Structure 1
């Protein structure tokens, strides 16, 4: 709580006043064990922003006035897709300041890495700013496309935070989190970049925040066709059907194969790509989270020939199975993610 208000305090604002205006009991400010819920977090962040007329909560030497934030929103609300909106938003931020603003780089084979660079002033908790900005970005763009973004990874330069109440503030992103990373970044899935926006006006944006969304919960929205298709394929894989045809999956989803292809295409996805990716993810997880021989992994994933498994894995990962295991055998983050994946899919 005190960390979020540190920029406002440096600017001479009274934390008790801001907390009351956000409908939060001021006593939580001095209580390290106190907690607030997701809607209260939204109210607090918004109240700090409006009190300072600064999107960045007073954490940066050169802030961003709320009027400029409105202009930035207008610059991408009328974009067609998430990828276009992301690039327009970043270009707008970079144009406002060379010191404050996200950068964008291509990350080979895994998606788009959105690098955020914040030069904070002394006396504030930079790590809490990075987290709250990532929360805002994640929820904003999830709202824009009408469903949760499929983040591949969150990277933060800070060590894993330890809170006295045991709360994991990074759990809401629902993806692997890499701490002590070289950059602060969100890694998006390429398939999300072509998803069309479902909201396009400032009034809708204001109505959304007026509803006090819960920033600690998953963004609202019905499961996407990609998510539904993935779940059916995972269930079929658990039953040993590794290359289920689209007719089988469509039947389980109570739709037609042609319609499923169409709905997936609208989300920038294809049935074949989902099926291939899920199989490749499992292969990668087996290689890092077990000592199972490469040949045995191939057989376990439904490949009748070792050479066929090696060829497919080379297409998935850009390297042979043995080379992949050797390259990442010391990567604790990847091993942890692989172990979690096998546990999630209940595969030993």
Structure 2
């Protein structure tokens, strides 16, 4: 039998101490802040103790209100809470999450020179939200990145009324570990690349086209007053996109690359027209999804294997090398050979390709 994890579950006291470093540098008493958050001060710096997701929300807000600083003292320049309210007001009137994200990023960039957010479209794979945090000396940058990602994930999920279906996270830090076995990144329910070049969240297009269901500051304040559990794993059924992708992947593994929508709809016990409609509501197209899944697998073979390009084409159901090259170029904007040459030394892309290929490699 394996050794049982030591200590109480949740974020351990050592990490709690790291979260309080910015406040301590600003002269705040960490034990007072813990008491104000309704947390036993004995947790401070103690690996054997831990806090749950509700206590984390209270602690963050306790630090923010005491310092009047959105970023809890981790940046050289304070960002007052009044600016956070203005930032929220700037995007709560938006129609979709994608629109709100872009408005929020523009406002955030103006709030602090220490944040530097950016977005980058990932061809056929969604949108990458890059976060360039410039923390002060004497604080643990890794814990700050994690807690900001948790805040972004929970806020955006609240805005659209359902959990985000993140495509993945990139984290510059190594994988954190706690003696109690708590996995800080499990709550995101997505692949996480550690030791990455940037800190970033990757969103699904279907989430970015989702309409906002909350649009007032009062509703935002009510959300936090209810002390949400930030460690709770999302309880959601699969979306039509997820279910359709699963069927398409199964069909591709069986060598059916041009499976019609009628076949997939029958597997999902719905009608073709209804399936197209439900996918459209999630910002997806059946044809685009089928093409993207094939293109993603082709890219994975190119970067995560030494398989010759001609052979990759045959594996993916193309009878002629020229046909594979034309289709891949239409999907990726470049030939298979150019794609391999350009990205073969990109550790992040090779790592992601390896994960995908291990998951979807054809028998």
From 272, 281, 306, the counterpart of 1:257: 272
| Structure 1 contact 170–177 (Cα < 8 Å) conserved | no
1:200 is aligned to 215
Which residue of 227, 250, 256 maps to 1:235?
A: 250
Cα distance in 1 between the residues matched to 2:62 and 2:345: 45
- Equivalent residue, structure 1, for 2:195: 179
Q: Per-residue displacement from partner, 1:217-250 (whole Å, max 9, x unpaired)?
A: 4445443322222222223323332222112222
Structure 1 residue 244 corresponds to structure 2 residue 259: yes
Residues 1-348 of structure 1 aligned to structure 2 (within 5 Å):
1-32=16-47, 34-97=49-112, 99-107=113-121, 109=123, 110-156=125-171, 158-165=172-179, 167-173=182-188, 174-177=190-193, 179-181=195-197, 183-219=198-234, 221-345=236-360, 347=362
Task: Say which SS state the counterpart of residue 118 (structure 2) adopts.
Answer: strand
Q: Following TM superposition, by how much is the alpha carbon of 1:164 offset from its aligned partner in structure 2, in angstroms?
A: 4.3
State the aligned residue count. 345
2:7 matched residue in structure 1:
none
Following TM superposition, by how much is the alpha carbon of 1:85 offset from its aligned partner in structure 2, in angstroms?
A: 0.6
**Closer, same or farther in 2 for the Cα pair 1:293/1:115, shift >3 Å?**
closer
| Distance in 1 between residues matched to 2:250 and 2:231, nearest whole Å | 28
| CA–CA distance in structure 1, aligned partners of residues 182 and 332 of structure 2 | 35
Specify the SS of the correspondent of 1:114: strand
Please give the per-residue CA displacement for 1:94-148, whole angstroms capped at 9, x wherever unaligned: 3434x24443344462543433333333322223222211221122112222334
DSSP 3-state at the match of 1:89: helix
Deviation for aligned residue 1:4: 0.4
Task: Measure the CA separation in 1 of the matches of 2:195 and 2:310.
Answer: 34
* TM-score of the pair, normalised by structure 1: 0.86
Residues 276, 72 of structure 1: CA spacing in aligned structure 2 closer, same or farther, 3 A cutoff?
same
Structure 2 CA distance for partners of 1:223 and 1:65, relative to 1, 3 Å: farther
- Structure 1 unmatched ranges of 5 or more: none
**Residue 330 to residue 104, structure 1, CA distance change in 2 (3 Å):** closer
Distance 2:48 2:299 in 1: 40
- SS of residue matched to 1:31: coil
Q: 1:232 to 1:214 in 2, by over 3 A?
A: farther
Shift, 1:316, TM fit: 2.0
- Is the CA contact (8 Å cut-off) linking 1:153 and 1:178 kept in structure 2? no
Work out the CA distance in 1 between the residues paired with 2:24 and 2:336: 54
Question: Quick check: 2:174–2:195 contact (8 Å CA) kept in 1?
Answer: yes
TM-score (norm 2): 0.83
Contact 1:143–1:220, Cα closer than 8 Å, also in 2: no
Aligned to 1:30, the other structure's residue is in SS state coil
What is the rounded CA distance, in whole Å, between the counterparts of 2:70 and 2:254 in structure 1? Answer: 50
Quote the Cα distance in structure 2 between the aligned partners of 1:276 and 1:317: 11
After superposition, the CA RMSD in angstroms is 2.7
Q: How far does the alpha carbon of each residue in 1:247-278 deviate from its partner, in whole angstroms, 9 at most, with x for none?
A: 22222333322222222222222111111111
Query: Are residues 287 and 53 of structure 1, via their aligned partners in 2, closer, same or farther at CA, if it must alter by over 3 Å?
Result: same
User: Is the Cα–Cα contact under 8 Å of residues 53 and 230 in structure 2 kept in the other structure?
Assistant: yes
Cα gap change, 1:249 to 1:151, in 2 (>3 Å): same
List runs of 5+ in structure 2 lacking aligned partners: 1-15
Aligned counterparts of 1:164 and 1:258: Cα–Cα separation in 2: 49
The CA deviation at 1:82 is 0.9
CA distance in structure 2 between the partners assigned to 1:240 and 1:32 by the alignment: 51
Deviation at 1:338, TM superposition (A): 2.2
